[in-house]
Structure 1
């Protein structure tokens, strides 16, 4: 993969083109930042079952405005969390979010919603999760551990139906364990209008995506370029997803560096959504800064994905 990415960068530099333009002459979409402001699960030291509690500024008019909104909300959330849960709660998790010592999913959502309400941006925001449910699944019993309770697959689906009815949730990543293609098909049907994202389900792999397409599992792919051998293979997976009506969410990894390449890649894909953590720490902000630069380079040709994040073109 390293050689593949280096060759792409070298070719772009030889032609004096930015990487996104080298990869796609029609690249013009700036993604909605999926801001993971509350961390749980394997990404944190708390007992929240879900890894990521995310807000999406779909009502912004541009990427720069979206970033401004989310940075302001994060600045409200941190002192609010410290006041409510103590200073240790604002030690950042792996993705840069706060780590309040709570177990209840609704309490975490309410915390995030309150910060958004205080900012005045509530009408511009919707919400998402990364559940990483494989880590919650017991292969011996076939049950999931949610909020200290053991749930069957059907109970998990009903759990999400209740949450979607209560909150403006538009995207749920890995709500079930990674090999349950049938279950992913069921939850996709049970939550019409909600983006069901396969990360561990698909691992940016065309063969696993083909299996999901045949079963009707999920309706979006989490796209991590280092889950597959080359940039070409990763882009082929994205193309396959788009052609079959699936969304593509470009994502960083927990052990990120300051390399901003995925910012160019999400624009090259016209992907519409990017997940690269909270707007803090240089391995996160490097990507956001690069997207601001790309938006400026594109000028009037830039289109912010907004509410069309799943199918921006």
Structure 2
């Protein structure tokens, strides 16, 4: 009997060469690009994303400082890949992705990867993940296996429900309004293709409404959302609700999500809405948000209070049990923080961003822990993203259920939507549907 496919892969999927270089993200800032080449000729290439509204508890991103690119250069992180990680992982098998991630993390030596930079570690992790898929000549999503990296078996692969940006404020749009993102969730869609078509229609109606009210729909924010100085945060909700109605959708078929990114609004013990001149206690702020859930089809709220306000997060989840209460800065894709959130009922859903964790394995363990605890999970892009499409495959292969990428324009956003359309058309996977949201039961 001749050698099996497994025998072949064991001798040929070993890493031969790893090369990193400085590239640009969607905001024009430098980031780390990396290519991992295998002995069998397969390779994986990736360009690492970066956030704008970053939490204090994220893995540490290495930046050079100085005058190049306003201090945003990443030559030190590139050197870390080329000089330290490349020789470390040479000869290791790409299919042993968790072992490679562990070796990289041990070599850095700091829990938040601050010695050499999480962007350096993630470049290696992502490029290796893509190379593994290429070596097996299979869709990337189908090679991911158990997100926790164990032997429990893969979760059911599905096309995720999208959460799509329509209006932006906060750090993504020059603080045109205080709240960072106003999004829609196409709960009535029966397929991903239909979901994208429906949301595009809503965005077009909102753009016309914005123009009619003296705005300029040609202006877009970091993630492709519309940007305008509206009178208040609620004015954006009103406009979005009207756009949904004019597009012909009932509230239960096209609902609203918001990303408050409240850590940027915290001043001492208060929440400050500078755009409308309000200073509110956390309890007063929650009264406002509860009122919004009663007046608008608001099904998901992200980071409603500051990143370290566990009491406020628990209170918000208790007061709005029918709403998906989503933690981003609160959890920072960190396993210990998710464990605390589960024990304190500080949310019912976790946003997963691989660059917050610093490796695909770490992010996968966070997603698995959240799902095992009964939390909903949302795989998310960053505001400074790239043309890569691996995020779509992660959301599918991990069975995340939901994905948050940005709006329906800007090519770094549409690349990920287009990849999901491809997976749906070619691989025939089922659409997750509305049941994947947290807090809606």
TM-score bracket for this pair, using the shorter chain length: over 0.9
TM superposition shift of 1:27: 4.3
Aligned match of 2:280: 151
Alpha-carbon distance in structure 1 between the residues aligned to 2:360 and 2:175: 35
Alpha-carbon distance in structure 2 between the residues aligned to 1:220 and 1:21: 24
Aligned match of 2:236: 108
**Of 261, 282, 294, the match for 2:390:** 261
Aligned match of 1:64: 193
CA contact (8 A) 2:223 2:410 kept: no
Alpha-carbon distance in structure 1 between the residues aligned to 2:157 and 2:249: 26
CA contact (8 A) 1:260 1:287 kept: yes
Aligned match of 1:160: 289
- Larger mean Cα displacement after TM superposition, 20-29 or 30-39: 20-29
In structure 2, stretches of 5+ residues that fail to align are 1-121, 146-153
Alpha-carbon distance in structure 2 between the residues aligned to 1:148 and 1:50: 14
Aligned match of 1:246: 375
Alignment of 1:173-192 (within 5 A): 173-192=302-321
CA contact (8 A) 1:46 1:103 kept: no
Q: What secondary structure is seen at the aligned counterpart in 1 of 2:256? A: strand
The answer to whether structure 1 residue 119 and structure 2 residue 240 are counterparts is no
How many pairs does the alignment contain?
307
CA contact (8 A) 1:46 1:100 kept: no
Alignment of 1:88-107 (within 5 A): 89-107=217-235
Alpha-carbon distance in structure 1 between the residues aligned to 2:218 and 2:185: 21
- Larger mean Cα displacement after TM superposition, 253-262 or 69-78: 69-78
Q: What secondary structure is seen at the aligned counterpart in 2 of 1:241? A: helix
Quickly say closer, same or farther: Cα 1:27–1:8, change in 2 above 3 A: farther
Q: What secondary structure is seen at the aligned counterpart in 1 of 2:165? A: strand
Aligned match of 1:48: 177
Aligned match of 2:5: none
TM superposition shift of 1:49: 1.1
Aligned match of 2:132: 11
Aligned match of 1:237: 366
TM superposition shift of 1:90: 3.5
Alpha-carbon distance in structure 2 between the residues aligned to 1:255 and 1:117: 32
Q: TM-score, normalised by structure 1?
A: 0.94
Deviations 1:129-161 (A, max 9, x none): 00000100002xx11113321111111111111
The answer to whether structure 1 residue 208 and structure 2 residue 332 are counterparts is no
- Larger mean Cα displacement after TM superposition, 25-34 or 228-237: 25-34
TM superposition shift of 1:72: 1.6
TM superposition shift of 1:111: 0.9
In structure 1, stretches of 5+ residues that fail to align are none
Alpha-carbon distance in structure 1 between the residues aligned to 2:175 and 2:369: 38
Aligned match of 1:76: 205
Higher RCO, 1 vs 2 (CA within 8 Å, ≥6 residues apart): 1
Deviations 1:59-89 (A, max 9, x none): 00100000011112222222321221233x5
The answer to whether structure 1 residue 130 and structure 2 residue 259 are counterparts is yes
**Where do 4+ consecutive residues of structure 1 move more than 6 Å?**
none
CA contact (8 A) 1:81 1:90 kept: no
**Of 287, 308, 313, the match for 2:435:** 308
Deviations 1:227-279 (A, max 9, x none): 11211111000000000011111110000111111100100121111111110
Aligned match of 1:22: 143
Alpha-carbon distance in structure 2 between the residues aligned to 1:236 and 1:26: 13
Deviations 1:197-229 (A, max 9, x none): 110010000011112122111111111011112
Alpha-carbon distance in structure 2 between the residues aligned to 1:218 and 1:277: 22
Aligned match of 2:402: 273
Q: If each structure's helix is expressed as a fraction of its own residues, which one has the higher value?
A: 1
CA contact (8 A) 2:389 2:419 kept: yes
Q: What secondary structure is seen at the aligned counterpart in 1 of 2:264? A: helix
TM superposition shift of 1:121: 2.2
TM superposition shift of 1:26: 5.5
Q: What secondary structure is seen at the aligned counterpart in 2 of 1:290? A: helix
Alpha-carbon distance in structure 2 between the residues aligned to 1:86 and 1:187: 33
